[in-house]
Amino acid sequence: MIEQLYRKTILTVAGNKAVEGVMRSRGWGLAQRFVAGHQADDIIQAVKDLQKDGIGGLLDLLGEFVDSPDTANAFAEQILSLVDQAAAAGVQPYITVKLSGLGQGLTVDGEDLGLINARRIISRAKPHGGFLALDMEDHPRVDVTLAQFRTLSQEFGHDFVGTVLQSYLHRTAADLAALADLKPNLRIVKGAYLEPESVAMQDKADIDASYRRLVYANLKAGNYTNVATHDGGIIDDVKMFVLAHGIPREQFEFQLLYGVRRDLQKQLASEGYRVRAYIPYGHDWYPYFSRRIAERPSNALFVLRGMFGG
Ligand code: FDA
């Protein structure tokens, strides 16, 4: 409950226009702990640096608000260009994207633009051993994102497209069961948005228990599972679970956010686990940065110290 209150306060303050103005003009230096840079070259360099420690990358172009097909298509073009640049640099084009940024909800020739653009990205990434992960946004988008994941998964197969399930939503166990026929590639997260009690658990212990159940169920079903958390207790339990159930290391990976628990990322890689860091880049870094601060009080202190000294 205290965690929820903290998160709510930070996200409300961060949404204040005056705070946003100050942060956007003065906060970039601090945001660089979590964001690789503004350009595609910056993220490619970040992946190359991580690769030295045996860590892969999830490539995320930041950009959260799209109001027209033109903006969505321009965003998709930037991602297509990232795929080309990554492939040319010898970096796997493992892209992660919010379908809203690709035009989800906008219709072109009777079809959803988010789906059309997702298809273009997968087709471009596939010959280079790439992958497209569909991030999960707030709860009103879950139905449409899962439906579009189903379409893409049927078209391309689970080796080229995956999505995300959030353990805090009451609906997620049912969603997992409904996806079983796809043998889905799933990233399991706790959930980063401020959601009401009617749709999401509010208690950390419940969210954590749900998280473990989802990961274990997807692993036991033989599906590729991206265990996306910084929670050391859960990571240790997953290590024990895979040992106890004879689940091979090729069937799962740990995923963590760029700039968060770098020590743990390196340690897991040195222990021989597959590890990938979620690396954002681009100009629209503020909403992403706000969510990271909302996840942890010490991140807010880091920002305050950075801005006001001390
Ligand atoms: P929890 O919040 O319980 O934290 C456990 C411990 O991890 C903390 O005690 C702290 O030590 C450390 N920690 C967590 N967050 C930290 C931070 N920001 N800075 C420093 N330390 C931190 N969400 C979503 O809704 N849709 C999505 O598509 C994704 N995608 C995604 C991809 C990847 C690779 C990750 C790691 C996370 C996401 N998320 C997400 C975010 C996710 O829902 C969640 O908000 C964060 O991962 C924080 O939750 P934890 O599981 O880390 O546990």
Which residues are 257's β-sheet partners?
278
Residue 9 has pLDDT above 90, yes or no: no
How far is Cα 248 from Cα 242, in angstroms, rounded to an integer?
7
Residue range 211-227: average pLDDT?
A: 98
Catalytic (active-site) positions: 135, 187
Pairing of strands 131-134, 94-97: parallel
Structure ipTM = 0.97
**pLDDT, mean over the chain:** 92
Q: Is residue 290 part of a domain?
A: no
**Mean pLDDT score, 24-44:** 87
pLDDT of residue 310: 45
Report yes or no on 297 lying in a domain: no
Per-residue pLDDT for 309 more than 60? no
Decide: 260 in ligand 1 pocket, CB within 6 A: yes
Per the domain annotation, does 113 fall within a domain? Answer: yes
Q: Give every CB contact of residue 155 below 8 A, 6+ residues apart in sequence.
A: 119
Q: Is the CB of 228 under 6 A from ligand 1?
A: yes
The residue nearest atom 3 of ligand 1, judged by CA position, is 231
89-97 mean pLDDT: 98
Q: How far apart are CA 114 and CA 102, in angstroms?
A: 5
The domain that contains 230 carries what CATH number?
Answer: 3.20.20.220
The residues that bridge with 107 in the sheet, in sequence order, are 112
Q: Which two tokens stand for residue 135?
A: 């991030």
Provide DSSP, 35-97.
---SSHHHHHHHHHHHHTTT-EEEEEE------SHHHHHHHHHHHHHHHHHHHHTT---EEEE
pLDDT of residue 79: 98
The rounded distance, in Å, linking the Cα atoms of 73 and 68 is 9
Helix (H) or strand (E) holding 164: strand 161-166
Domain assignment present for residue 21? The answer is no
Question: How many CB atoms within 10 Å of residue 250?
Answer: 8
Q: What is the 3-state secondary structure (H, E, C) of 192-245?
A: CCCCCCCCECCCHHHHHHHHHHHHHHHHHCCCCEEEECCCHHHHHHHHHHHHHC
Q: Closest Cα to residue 235, out of 193, 188, 279?
A: 188
Percentage of the chain with pLDDT > 90? Answer: 78
* Whole-number pLDDT of residue 64: 64
Ligand 1 atom closest to the Cα of residue 257 is: 36
Q: Which amino acid is at 150?
A: R
Q: In the numeric block, which tokens belong to residue 122?
A: 């997968």
- Site to probe by mutation for ligand 1, drawn from 139, 230, 263, 264 as the one with most ligand atoms within 8 Å of Cβ, is 230
**pLDDT reported for residue 290:** 82
Based on the structure, what is the number of domains in the chain?
1
Q: Is the CB of 211 under 6 A from ligand 1?
A: no
Which pLDDT tens digit goes with each residue over 263-275? Answer: 999 999 999 999 9
Q: 64-91, pLDDT tens digit by residue?
A: 678 899 999 999 999 999 999 999 999 9
User: Is residue 226 within 8 Å of 162, Cβ to Cβ?
Assistant: yes
User: Is 289 within a domain?
Assistant: no
Q: What is the Cα–Cα distance from 146 to 168, expressed in whole angstroms?
A: 16
Domain assignment present for 25 = no
82 lines ligand 1 (CB under 6 A): no
State which residues form the domain around 131. Answer: 36-284
Q: State the pLDDT confidence band at 284, using cuts at 50, 70 and 90.
A: confident
Q: Domain for residue 108, yes or no?
A: yes
The answer to whether residue 302 sits within a structural domain is no
